[in-house]
Structures are given as C-alpha cells and as structure tokens.
Structure 1
Amino acid sequence: MFVIQYRTIFVSISAVLILGSVIALGVWGLKPAIDFTGGSLIEVSQGDASKEDITAVVEEIITETVALRSTDDGFIIRTKELAPDVVAEVETAITNISESTSVLRVSTIGPSLGDELFTKALIALLLVALGIIIFIAIAFWKVSKPVSSWVYGLVTLGTLAHDVLIPAGVFALLGAFAGLEVDALFVVALLTVLGYSVNDTIVVFDRVRENLKVNRENEKDEPFENVVGRSLTQTYTRSINTSLTTIVVLLALFFFGGSATEDFALVLIIGVAAGAYSSIFFASPLLVMISHLGSKTNADTKKKTQ
C-alpha cells in the first residue's frame, strides 16, 4: 500500500525521467548508424597493427568523417557510402599494414534503403503500441467501474512511452558524448521492451480486475485505491523476481556476449529496469490518480445539477 500512499512521489519521479529523456532527444537526438542513413561498414581484424595505424591509412583515402569502433579482435569502420573502387583501395591499404591485419567484411547500404528501414521501424513501433492498446481495451471492457476500460489502455500507453523514452534518452546522451549509434538492433530491442513492459503491467492490472470481480460478487464495497494496493502486494514478488533474473542474464550478455550484442543488451537492461519500475511505481499509482480525478469530476457535476 505504500506505493499507492506515496503515489505522487513515484509518478513525479517517472515524470522527471520522461521529461529528461524528451529533452535529451530534442537537444541531441539519436545518432543513426548506416542502417538508417546509408553508408559503408568495414570490419577489420587488427592483428599487430594499432588503432592509430589503421586510422591514418583509412583517413588518407577517405577524407570524410570516419568512425572507428573496437570489436573483440579489431575495429569496425563506419563512413559514408563508398564506391567499389574506393572500398578495394581501403582493403588493400589495410592488409598492407601488417601480415596479420585483414578485412573481415564490407557492407554498403544506400540512403534509400536506410530511409525505408527507418520508416518501417517507426511503423512497427506504432503498430505494436496500437495493438497492445486495443487488446487491453477488449480484455478489460467488462471492468468499467470505477474507471472505464479505455483508461487501462491509456495508462498502459503512458507506461509504454515511459519504458521506451528512457532508454532512447540514455542513448541520445551516449550518442552525444560517447559517439554511440543506433541501428536496426536498437529498434528490435525497443520492440522487445514494449512486449516485456506490457506483460508486467498486464499482470498487475489483471489482478486488479480479478479483485474487483470478487468484490462485486461478494457485494463488498472497497475503495479502488485499496483494491489496487492489494493487487500490487499480491504481484510484488513475481514482478521483482522476473525483472531481476532477466537483468542478470542481460548483464551476462552485455559483459561476455561480445561487441556485436553489447548495445542491444544495454538497451534491454535499461528498458527492463524502466519497465520493472513503471509496472509497480508508475502504472498502478497513475490508474488511482485518474480514478480520483474522475470521481472529483463526477462529484462537481452532481453539485452543479442540484
């Protein structure tokens, strides 16, 4: 019950986090990788060569901005879209640095394909969010008192925004100060966070629905905030244990999974942590606050009609 009792504090914390994320996204924005902007990617096995040697050789050929990112045994070079002859020249120059230095792969994505991928990623996120809201509205349509079924969907939408904006805001900061880019895996991670987040929230809301149903069958008049508080108490252990075990696995993936999955795991860690917080400290308190707002509005309406 302490979560419902101090709901204003917990909802305010979420509001600050959301506001900070929106500001970070507005000021710096996300730094798109070549998946979205188009460009060339060259993965190099370092061997005996140093980062400085590889950078110097590449920058002699490519005058535009070159971004190097470390991998387990070398670097990934990201730059604008390169012509085939320029790519061949870069490969030759790199392999000439040292006998142990080699080019592992070269990938090129055109700007049109990058724009198409960005559009499809945005559509995927919107469709998932819309599908979740529709599902919740249908699942809770019989629960119309003391709050309408659509309110559950609205609160869930706010929770989803909370859980997506926070990792996006963190990556906006990392992109501005650490050069971290977002690629297709970032979108996949956000979609995963959406599914995980709604699952946690639905568990609590479903328990609220069941408790309301039991009260109605037993003709028990219990304040809505008590019902929500009791439902939270019944689901604390499940929510916390599930989130902790998931985060432990993701931490293992982040530290030992290699550079290819590092950013993916980081998005999931932030998103799962945000989802664990929102399902307990944001969604349910917000539901109670909206119910109180509706009750106050109804009371004011009755006074005016008398």
Structure 2
Amino acid sequence: MNILGKRYIFFGVSLLIIVTGLIALFTGSTPLSIDFTGGSLLEVSFKSASPQPGEIIAIYDAAQLSDAQVQTTDMGSYVIRSQFLDNDQRDAVLTALTSKYGEVEVVRFDSVGPSIGEQVTTRGAIAVTVASLLVVIFIAWSFRGVQNAFRYGICAILAMIHDVAIIFAVAGFGGLLFGWEIDSLFLTALLTVIGFSMQDTIVVFDRIRENSHIYRRLDFETLVNHSIVQTLQRSINTQLMTVEFLLLSLAMFSGVTLQEFAAILLIGLLSGTYSS
C-alpha cells in the first residue's frame, strides 16, 4: 500500500475542505456564542403563534435593546441573541412577547457579562497555545536522540495546524447548514483533538524511529510509508471500536448542543488519524 505515493491527492482533498470551510466561517455563517462575546441568549417557543424574526427584533428595539439577532430552530423555537439582559429586562421582553403572541415558553436563558466573555476568549487562546507548545516540547525531548529530530517537530506542528483548520472548516459548514455557533464546548473539542492528534502522530513517529534501526538500507520515503502501514490497523481499530461509534451515536441522537460537540469531535478525531 503506497500511501505516500498518493500524498498529493490527500493534500488536495484537505486543501479543498479547509479553504471552502474557512470561507464559510469568515463570511459570518458561524457566530461566536455569548461565552466569548458576552450578552444574553433567550430561546422561546410560542403555543399559538409564529411571529417573524423581524417582529421579535422590533420588540427588542422598543425595549431599547439594539442589535438583537433571531434564529429559528428545527423544533420551531426562536433563539434570540442580544446585549446583556438583567432579570428586569428579560421579564419586560417576555411580557411584551406574551401580550402580543399569547403564551410563551422559555426553553433556555443564558447570560454572560462582557468582561467574562473577554476573559473566556483570552484564556481559551492561551490554553490552545500552551497545549500546543507543551506537546511540541515533549516530542522534541522524546526524539532527541534521532538524527534531524527537528523534522519530527515540524511535521507534528503541521499536522496540528491541519487538524485545527479542519475543525474550524467543519464549524464553518455547520454554521452555514445547521446554524452552529462557536462556544465553550467547541474549545473543549478543539483541545481534545489537538491532544489526540499529537498522540497518534507520536505513535507513527515512534514506529519510524524503530524501523530506521531495523531497515537501514531503505530510503526514507519507503521507510515512512512502511511505518504508516504498520500503524494503520492499530489506528483504525482504536478509533472505530472505541470512540467513533460512541460519538456517532451522540451526534445522531443527543440534544442540539451535544450534537454539535460530538460531530466536531468525531470529524476532528478522524482528521487527527488521517493527518498523522
């Protein structure tokens, strides 16, 4: 099985997914959740009415709450994002909705202050950066006795960047097709995939190191291809038999929030195996 011989096909597939997904992401199809921006999220459903999003926004404007955004869900509810609401402002909005459209059911209500949202964003970026640096340092230490060990570190960094880009691309597609948003669970999935990708990459690197002592006469490309083939069965068994079936079940049958988390984690872990 000549995997490296088809590497340019794999590069092309990855590039296509990443570029199109990031275009979808940066065109604004996947908003940041209030975990990062601060503000309030109110999800409501109506018993006997189906107002237009513009009508709900008008009620917010009348309450001097500007820049409200409304999305409808597959369950028929309305997700309203706005500036931070205290309890009095929330009650005033609900009273106005009830008086105009009848009984209103509050599905959920979350609020995050602006300072907390900024703090979460900063700490999230720091967590991703520190986790990445620690993994690279670990690889450099583990392979310190190997000739040209810096190649391993560079390849690990490139694989990590690839997996992170794939995750953001998936988020872009999810926002465009299913109304996903980037929240704290997305950050959790991102850190998990980084760790898994590095672990799988280290397994392949370790097999390359072992084979370099056994097959001294092989050229480097053949040696690497042989090592990848040897670890492929282990990676597939580890993925399919333990993690992926569980994540697939969660992505198909769990609630909306967990579905997004499970789908991103599912594709991210597959990408981690693929890139390594």
Q: After TM superposition, is the score higher than 0.5?
A: yes
Q: Which of 217, 222, 234 pairs up with 1:221?
A: 217
Give 1:83 shift: 4.1
Partner of 1:282: none
- Give the unaligned 5+ runs of structure 1: 280-306
Rate the CA distance shift 1:75–1:5 in 2: closer, same or farther, 3 A: same
Q: Take 1:65 and 1:178, find their aligned partners in 2: how far apart are those partners?
A: 20
Partner of 1:253: 250
Give 1:119 shift: 1.0
Partner of 1:170: 170
Partner of 1:159: 159
SS in 2 for 1:102: strand
Q: Take 2:96 and 2:167, find their aligned partners in 1: how far apart are those partners?
A: 39
SS in 2 for 1:81: coil
SS in 2 for 1:205: helix
Any conservation in 2 of the 1:54–1:94 contact (CA below 8 Å)?
no
Q: Take 2:28 and 2:56, find their aligned partners in 1: how far apart are those partners?
A: 28
1:230 matched to 2:233? The reply is: no
Partner of 1:109: 112
1:48 matched to 2:47? The reply is: yes
Matched to 2:251, the amino acid is: F
SS in 1 for 2:110: strand
1:193 matched to 2:196? The reply is: no
Rate the CA distance shift 1:202–1:177 in 2: closer, same or farther, 3 A: same
Give 1:142 shift: 1.0
1:275 matched to 2:272? The reply is: yes
After TM superposition, the structure 1 = structure 2 runs for residues 196-215 of structure 1, keeping only pairs within 5 Å, are: 196-215=196-215
Any conservation in 2 of the 1:31–1:172 contact (CA below 8 Å)?
no
SS in 2 for 1:106: strand
Give 1:170 shift: 2.9
Give 1:89 shift: 1.2
Any conservation in 1 of the 2:21–2:171 contact (CA below 8 Å)?
no
- Give the unaligned 5+ runs of structure 2: 62-66
Give 1:43 shift: 3.6
Give the share of equivalent positions with the same residue, in percent. 38
Q: Which of 260, 265, 268 pairs up with 2:262?
A: 265
1:140 matched to 2:138? The reply is: no
Give 1:72 shift: 6.3
After TM superposition, the structure 1 = structure 2 runs for residues 10-89 of structure 1, keeping only pairs within 5 Å, are: 10-25=10-25, 28=28, 31-44=31-44, 46=45, 48-50=47-49, 52-53=50-51, 58-63=56-61, 64-70=67-73, 74-89=77-92
Any conservation in 2 of the 1:94–1:102 contact (CA below 8 Å)?
no
Rate the CA distance shift 1:203–1:53 in 2: closer, same or farther, 3 A: same
Any conservation in 1 of the 2:53–2:70 contact (CA below 8 Å)?
no
1:127 matched to 2:130? The reply is: yes
Any conservation in 2 of the 1:71–1:258 contact (CA below 8 Å)?
no
Any conservation in 2 of the 1:95–1:103 contact (CA below 8 Å)?
no
Matched to 2:114, the amino acid is: P
Give 1:249 shift: 1.8
Q: Take 1:59 and 1:42, find their aligned partners in 2: how far apart are those partners?
A: 12
Give 1:272 shift: 1.8
Partner of 1:240: 236
Any conservation in 2 of the 1:58–1:90 contact (CA below 8 Å)?
no
Partner of 1:286: none
Matched to 1:48, the amino acid is: K
Structure with the greater alpha carbon radius of gyration: 1
Computed over aligned residues only, the root mean square deviation of the Cα atoms, in angstroms, reads 2.8
Partner of 1:149: 149
Rate the CA distance shift 1:236–1:175 in 2: closer, same or farther, 3 A: same
Any conservation in 2 of the 1:30–1:168 contact (CA below 8 Å)?
no
Q: Take 2:52 and 2:88, find their aligned partners in 1: how far apart are those partners?
A: 19
Any conservation in 1 of the 2:204–2:227 contact (CA below 8 Å)?
yes
Give 1:42 shift: 2.0
Q: Take 2:32 and 2:220, find their aligned partners in 1: how far apart are those partners?
A: 45
Matched to 2:83, the amino acid is: K
SS in 1 for 2:146: coil
Give 1:61 shift: 2.5
Q: Take 1:164 and 1:274, find their aligned partners in 2: how far apart are those partners?
A: 9
Partner of 1:283: none
Any conservation in 1 of the 2:57–2:70 contact (CA below 8 Å)?
no
Give 1:182 shift: 0.7
Matched to 2:205, the amino acid is: F
